Amino acid sequence: MKELIPIVGIIAVFGSIILFVSILTNYSLKRKLIDKNMVNEKTANLFKREDGKLNALKWGLITLLGGVGLITIDSMRLDADDAMAWGIEAVCVAVGFLTYYFLTRKNQ
């Protein structure tokens, strides 16, 4: 477990940098479009945000089923080295994504 701390730290640092650059470039692109009066219906849809409730539902389902996978792995006394542990977690997260897909497909 201690060997994962530097890896998580590196991922967090680079992930933060990537997120910051992404937000900054998105902002500058929007600002340039507004300054040049190039905003119309098509360009407005490019930067449209996802519905907050559906986004919360998606991440809630993924987190819930990911947690169910971790609880299952712990109750089966599997180690992180076991392939079955990784498979259980992958299947649970995939079920979360599929559940979200089928729930939102009905609404569209």
Could you list the residue range(s) of the whole structural domain that residue 108 is in? 50-108
**pLDDT at residue 16 above 70?**
yes
27 and 69: one domain? no
**pLDDT at residue 24 above 90?**
yes
16 and 61: one domain? no
CB 92, CB 72: distance < 8 Å: yes
CB 61, CB 98: distance < 8 Å: no
55 and 35: one domain? no
70 and 42: one domain? no
Q: What is the mean pLDDT of residues 5-12?
A: 89
User: What is the residue whose two structure tokens read 């809630």?
Assistant: 60
24 and 44: one domain? yes
39 and 75: one domain? no
pLDDT of residue 1: 62
Say which residues have a Cβ less than 8 Å from residue 91's Cβ, sequence separation at least 6: 69
**pLDDT at residue 38 above 90?**
no
4 and 40: one domain? yes
39 and 60: one domain? no
Domain endpoint, select from 33, 48, 63? 48
Number of structural domains (the chain) is 2
Supply φ then ψ for residue 74, to 5 degrees. Answer: -65, -40
17 and 31: one domain? yes
Confidence of residue 49 (pLDDT cuts 50, 70, 90): low
Say which residues have a Cβ less than 8 Å from residue 64's Cβ, sequence separation at least 6: 96
57 and 91: one domain? yes
List C-alpha distances in Å: 100 to 41, 48, 56, 83, 105.
28, 20, 10, 26, 8
Confidence of residue 94 (pLDDT cuts 50, 70, 90): very high
9 and 34: one domain? yes
User: How high is the mean pLDDT of the chain?
Assistant: 88
